[in-house]
Amino acid sequence: METILLHCCCAPCSVFCIDSLRQEGMEPTGFWYNPNIHPWQEYKARRDTLTDYASSVGMDLIVREEYGLRDFVAHVAEDIPHRCAWCYTCRMEETARYASEHGFSAFTTTLLISPYQQHERIAAAAGELAERYGVRFLYRDFRPGFRQGQSKARELGLYMQKYCGCIFSEEDRYQKQIQRDQARFGGAAE
C-alpha cells in the first residue's frame, strides 16, 4: 500500500480526503503544520480536533508544532492582500521536505478540498516544491467532496472553524460588521 503524507489544515477538511485516498488504496499519514493559524486558541482547537479525529479513524498523525504568529506576520506584513501565496508555499514546502526526508512516496494537502482556497496556486506551489525536494506531489481535486466531508464532520461533532486560519482572514470574516460599526460610530478612531 502506498503511503502518502497528507498535509491537514483541519479535521473537517480531512474527512473526505482521507476517505477518498483510502478508497484508492493509499494510506495517508496526516501532517499538521499550520503556523498561519491564529490566535492561539484557534490553533489549539484545530490541532486538537485533528489529533482526536486521526486517532478515531486509525490514521497516523505527525504534529509539527509551530505556532508561528510573529514569523507569519513578518512574512506577510508588507503585502497583506497577497498573504495566501506565502502561506501556501510555507506549508507545502515543509510538507514536501518532510515527505522527502522520511521516505513517503508522495504528498498532498487537504487545502485542495476547499472551494474558498486558491486551488491552482496551491497545486502550482506544491508541484514546484515536489521537484525541489525530489518527491511526488499527488494532485487531487477534492473539491467535489467538500459538502459531503463537511456534512460528515458535522455529524461527528467536529469543531468547525469559521475562517481560513490567519488573523487577517478572521478580519475579512467580520468586514461587513466592521463597516457597519464604522458607519454607525463615525469611522475609525484617529
On whether 13 is known to bind a ligand per the annotation, the reply is no
Q: What are phi and psi of 169, to 5 degrees?
A: -70, -30
Give dist(CA 84, CA 75) in Å, integer: 11
Order of strands across the sheet that contains 61-63: 61-63, 26-32, 2-7, 106-109, 136-137
Among candidate residues 61, 38, 42, the one with its CA nearest the CA of residue 167: 38
On whether 10 is known to bind a ligand per the annotation, the reply is yes
On whether 90 is known to bind a ligand per the annotation, the reply is no
Q: Any bridge partners for residue 107, and if so which?
A: 5, 137
Sign for the CA dihedral angle at 129, 94, 97, 112 comes to: negative
Among candidate residues 108, 75, 103, the one with its CA nearest the CA of residue 90: 75
Give dist(CA 8, CA 84) in Å, integer: 16
Residue ranges for the known binding site are 9-10, 84, 87
Residue ranges for the known binding site for [4Fe-4S] cluster are 9-10, 84, 87
